[in-house]
Chains A and B, each alone.
Chain A
Amino acid sequence: MRISRRNFIKAGAAGTAGLSLSGPAVSRKWFKTAAAKDSDPSEVLKYTYHTPNCGGRCAFICHVRDGKLSLIEPNTWADPKFSTICLRGISEIERVYSPDRIQTPLKRVGKRGEGKFKPITWDEALTTIADNLKSLIDEYGSESVLISMSSGVEHDYKFLSHLLKTQWVCEQGIDVGLSNGLLKCLGGDDVYTYMQNEITDWVNSSTIIILGANPLETTITDSKFFMNAKEAGAKMITIDPVYTTTASKSNQWISIKPGSDVALLLGMISTIIDNEWYQEDYLVDNTTSPFLVRKDNGKMLRLHDNDEEDVKKNPHLIWDEKSESAKPYNTKGVKPALDGEFTVNGVKVKTVFRAIKENQKQYTLSWASEMTEIDEDVIFELSKDYATRGPAVIAWGFGGLDKLANSDIAGHAGGILGSLTGNFGRVGGGVGAVTHHASTWTAELNEWPLPEQFKETPLEVPTSDFREGKGSVRAVINVGNTLQQHFANMNKTEEWIDSLDFLVTIDPFHNPSADYADIVLPASTAFESEYDITNMQINRSHVLLAEKVIDPLFESKSDFQIEKELLAKFGLDKHHPKTPRDWIAHKLDSGDPALDGITVDSLIENKFTMRLNAPKEPYRGYMDQIYDTPTGKLELYTESFLEFDQSLPKYENPDEIVDEKLRKKYPLQFIQSRSRYHVHSQFNNVEWIRQFDGGPKLEINPKDAKSRGLKTGDVVEVMNDRGLMKAECKLTEAMRPGVVRMHEGWWTKHMIEGNLQTLTNDHFMKRQYDLRNGPVIPFNDTLVEVAKV
């Protein structure tokens, strides 16, 4: 039995007078209490974990009394520091029983979006869906069906997409901009490019720069690691136009002009280079900075002047200072020059590092200061803190600048900053997305075998482009609230929805997307199931298992069951696992040594959480300094982006928010931010939470409010050329003048009129189609005007 740090009388103080409860005794006592409760038929304990897409995956012990979910407490993980919960997890007590639950399958009787339905039987619903899909697939091919998933739903309907060979998407184009840029340097296929090191490694960092992110509100369960790092002496610096909770808990808050993050990062690069704070050896050993670039066309110099891309067959060249000649970068015993210009076979070349230096000439400190509206000395000190205090982190992501059109350039610049300072593959280092605590030890899971002919159709175009008449989608199976949440510019989305032949929504709650559906299926929440064992995940270096907590409420069915029954209508359910337990057992049987001894049964014995057979220390990526790029090095120069003039990060404005002409008409930037109260559009209907955050409020600085004659509580119209919404406004000095904000995800029914997405910018940047994750939806790259109603 592990001693929980939470037992208030520590094992070490067991001898002291007073309550003679030592840690282990308390734990035993706890266990006894639990066992006693198990024997009481009116209250049973059930183990599960939280599934919505905050990434929390908090492990829960659920007390079920008289068949009702009555109390949720954090389960103790094998590594107890991860035992946690937040207000959203606790509020499930109410949410599971929400009046917004869809109780029976529904068939639309009104117009799409009108919200008029009649209840039908499961058989009628599933038959209708199957008939419609069959005829569409027959006529237009299986690619005419799109399964649109919310990551808030753990069961991902991949059997359906593979077996019916449909298209499948989950949140395309959202919060992937920075990752797009950073991946240029790191390689690989991590959609979101999380910080390389687990957040528990932050205690080893000296400087932590949080750029446009607010983890203390959005990733509440990581807050203890933030605090631990701060107490261990890390200098926490938050850069954000808005004074967020994270800003308030940091050692330093730097207010930045929205959209100018790229300029700040470029200014930092210049400052670090000018002051020679970069790590020369690191750059030479682990990055492509010594690689040679042709001065005439910007192409990288390789061993053979042909189209061979394979770096093994056609390696890049560096300038060997020993032999004073160009050599393949992977030649043993060479001493690559970091900086310089050379002539190789009559071709004038320079090192990548020289190219960076030249590129940076235009991005002086004073330029950066002017662009960002941050004082020069502040940027100077920030750069110095980042480069010279020791291991340092740049943490960003999921919102903020990630929802701007120039986020890929910021990602690339961040990669260069991390490289210059040797912060990749370093204890206490890292650059990447801070939220979701996804960097952990992990293990290979077994895939469920499907006959070879069953393969889903790859996504034809970025999902938003379906609305532009591209691709062949005619039917959408919407799992979650994807129609409202996953697209900007709602009016355009609605036109597309109207043009669809068939639309299904599967969700426990009657979310705004459900109103458009032809058939609505009531899914159970993750607490309900027909099966004893329901889900399994690897998270925070642990395997977490979930069991059924309560029976499905109303006529709902679990997503597993819905998928299985739907496949049965196509005669394909034989390929689907019989029970979630079979599936989980198969997944765990991958032979990965990290999973040795971890089975469904051993998990049940260990209170549904076991640590992977993995090293005890925090997970840290790239400690071997071998990157996922073709060269295995941090690739600072992206040859393939020469056509966009982005082989090195070049400053570009965001799409809309600095458009001076448009600003005359719509002078305010409209951002939607995540908050501690919701996860995207989930929990917005929970009354427990609405006691704190009652409804949509447009937050505005009192200066902007004054010039518009607004006071807190006034109803305002927020508008631009795309549309209009109405909501109450709230004056707060936390907002930067010129920026207005609303917590994201409010359902249309919570609004007075319109919706956040009626305003948002859906313009794609052309260059981003060539990036790993495709173009980013610039939700926050949106200008509006606000007026009193």
Chain B
Amino acid sequence: MSKSVKVNITIGVLVTLTLIGFSALAYQTIHGLGGTGMNNVVSWGLYIIMFMFFVGLSAGGLIVSSSATVFNIPSFKVVAKPATILSTVCVVLAGLFIMVDLGSPFRMLNLLLHGQFKSPLMWDVVVISIYLGINVGYLILMMMKNPNQKLLNAMSYIALPVAILVHSVTAWIFGLQIARAGWYSAIMAPLFVSSALDSGLALLLIVLVLLRTLKVFHVENSLITKLAGLLFIFVAVDAYLIFSEVLTMYYPQEASTMLVLNEMLSGSMAPFFWGEIILGLAIPLAILLFRKNRQRISLVVLSSALVVVGVFCKRFWLVISSFMYPNVGGSPGVTTGQYIPSNDPSVVNSIWASVGHYWPTLLEMLVVVGILSLGVLMFMALTRLIIGKEGVEKTNSEKTDLNVPLQEMPQ
């Protein structure tokens, strides 16, 4: 099969998945969110998880490209284009995930008409809009034949703090809520930033290797190795913050916090918690610790993939576990909002849950797959538009710039 046939098949599959996803979304828009696994106890689910996840993933790109200027790391400049495209696509997806989570999406305009700025969600709307603007601005500049370097520099200086802010504000959506034992924490913002950094960078690494394999964009091994080194640091910081957070939850043995923690350590959220600890932290750290491993592209990709999966797991347990136990406990609990009529009188309809449970339904998964497919398509389109075919040659000519020694990176 020729490359173009492969590409066409890929596009065909992605378009189909996108259409399926958006059909599911249309169904959801007509019938409401009842088809999701969410209920009145666990009132946020996969969509919000994906929102957080993609806000985080968008970090890697923008931070790498803007740090190139801000911290004068010229080697990073090389990957600015794919990084920014990735960042843009991720933040657009994040926005989409918020939209599909709304019960009344047709009223979204109310955000503009009646914005209430005490709400961290409103802060996020603002910061993400700016963030998206910067990304798009970057892309436009990059598409120019001779971009204004000053403007580019200025933008980098804005982009970095905005990127930090985006993750912090997203964290504050959760971290400022006294209602939820697992969320209410001062290090929620640093934790989000660190997760954003490691997952974002990991995704960037995967994408770079993929682009190189597809001969769309060339990256030197040394840069991959260097970025892998950075990833190690990010993951280590993330691990440190998570340890600090979990220890803080564990040590006082406070009852309501322990309910959440036990759910994470040994309850229904354990696969996600331990998934993160083992897949997302322990294994990547173990691999990336060694320079030899960092030089092996396959191991770097593996580690990156694990980090991405690990952070997804973290988003999952972070959102869900704090919903599971109502603060005001007792029987019969909370009305779930679900009532299934039955003609069989012996069918007992329990509308109650004293402990919340959540698992995404097929509908949610289809919507998510559709949006992800759309994201890939967007990425492909933007890559073609901005990097185009000459990308490989162009980056090849820039490879002499790769002269920052790896030894400067802390090990």
Contacts and interface: CB of A to CB of B under 8 A. Distances in A.
A750 B345 contact: yes
A690 B348 contact: yes
A691 interface: yes
A752 interface: yes
A750 B342 CA distance: 13
A52 B168 CA distance: 61
A442 interface: no
B346 A750 contact: yes
A683 to B, nearest CB: 13
Interface in B325-369: 332, 339, 345-346, 348-351
Nearest to B352: A691
Interface string A679-693: 000000101001110
A709 interface: no
B346 A752 contact: yes
Interface in A647-702: 685, 687, 690-692, 694-695
A25 interface: no
A697 to B, nearest CB: 9
Contacts of B345: 685, 695, 747, 749-750
B346 A695 contact: yes
Contacts of A690: 348-349
B330 to A, nearest CB: 14
Contacts of B339: 691
Contacts of A585: none
A58 to B, nearest CB: 26
Contact of B349 (A691, A750, A751): A691
A645 B284 CA distance: 90
Contact of B346 (A687, A691, A692, A749): A749
Nearest to B350: A694
A687 B351 CA distance: 11
A747 B344 CA distance: 13
Contacts of A692: 332
A685 B332 CA distance: 20
A752 to B, nearest CB: 6
A685 B347 CA distance: 12
Nearest to B339: A691
A694 B339 CA distance: 12
Contacts of A750: 345-346
Nearest to A685: B345
A495 B377 CA distance: 75
Contact of A695 (B332, B348, B351): B348
Contacts of A752: 346
Nearest to B335: A691
A749 B345 CA distance: 7
A749 B339 CA distance: 21
A752 B348 CA distance: 12
Contacts of B351: 691
A280 to B, nearest CB: 52
A749 B344 CA distance: 9
Contacts of A687: 349
Interface class of chain B by DSSP? loop
A219 B118 CA distance: 49
A771 B17 CA distance: 82
Contacts of A695: 345-346, 348
A750 B349 CA distance: 13
A748 to B, nearest CB: 10
Nearest to A727: B346
Nearest to A693: B348
Contacts of B348: 690, 694-695
A205 B404 CA distance: 93
A692 B352 CA distance: 9
Nearest to A748: B345
B351 to A, nearest CB: 5
A196 to B, nearest CB: 39
B77 to A, nearest CB: 63
Nearest to B348: A694
A747 B346 CA distance: 10
A319 B349 CA distance: 70
A629 to B, nearest CB: 50
A558 B184 CA distance: 61
A754 B351 CA distance: 27
Q: Which of the listed residues B339, B348, B350, B351 has the most CB atoms from chain A within 10 Å of its own CB?
A: B348
Interface string A706-749: 00000000000000000000000000000000000000000101
Contacts of B346: 695, 749-752
A352 B351 CA distance: 61
B133 to A, nearest CB: 49
A687 B349 CA distance: 9
Contacts of A747: 345
A752 B344 CA distance: 11
Q: Which of the listed residues B332, B339, B346, B351 has the most CB atoms from chain A within 10 Å of its own CB?
A: B346
A747 to B, nearest CB: 7
Contacts of B349: 687, 690-691, 694
Contacts of B332: 692
Q: Which of the listed residues B332, B339, B345, B349 has the most CB atoms from chain A within 10 Å of its own CB?
A: B345
A749 B351 CA distance: 21
A767 B345 CA distance: 42
A99 to B, nearest CB: 8
Nearest to A692: B332
A695 B350 CA distance: 10
Q: Which of the listed residues A687, A691, A751 has the most CB atoms from chain B within 10 Å of its own CB?
A: A691
Nearest to A697: B348
B325 to A, nearest CB: 20
A685 B343 CA distance: 11
Q: Which of the listed residues A694, A749, A752 has the most CB atoms from chain B within 10 Å of its own CB?
A: A694
B282 to A, nearest CB: 38
Nearest to A100: B345
Contacts of A691: 339, 349, 351
A687 B348 CA distance: 10
Contacts of A751: 346
A690 B352 CA distance: 12
Contacts of B350: 694
A750 B346 CA distance: 5
Nearest to A752: B346
Nearest to A99: B343
Interface in A115-162: none
B344 to A, nearest CB: 9
B335 to A, nearest CB: 8
A115 to B, nearest CB: 13
A692 B333 CA distance: 11
Contacts of A685: 345
B354 to A, nearest CB: 13
A348 B348 CA distance: 69
B346 to A, nearest CB: 6
A691 B351 CA distance: 7
B270 to A, nearest CB: 23
B409 to A, nearest CB: 58
A694 B342 CA distance: 12
Interface in B93-126: none
Interface in B67-114: none
Interface string B123-153: 0000000000000000000000000000000
A750 B345 CA distance: 5
A329 B374 CA distance: 104
A448 to B, nearest CB: 40
Given A691-B349, A750-B346, 12 more contacts: A685-B345, A690-B349, A691-B339, A691-B351, A692-B332, A694-B349, A694-B350, A695-B346, A695-B348, A749-B346, A750-B345, A752-B346
19 contacts: A685-B345, A687-B349, A690-B348, A690-B349, A691-B339, A691-B351, A692-B332, A694-B349, A694-B350, A695-B345, A695-B346, A695-B348, A747-B345, A749-B345, A749-B346, A750-B345, A750-B346, A751-B346, A752-B346
Sorted nearest first, the 7 A-B pairs with minimum C-beta distance are A694-B348, A695-B348, A749-B345, A750-B345, A691-B351, A750-B346, A752-B346
Interface of A: 685, 687, 690-692, 694-695, 747, 749-752
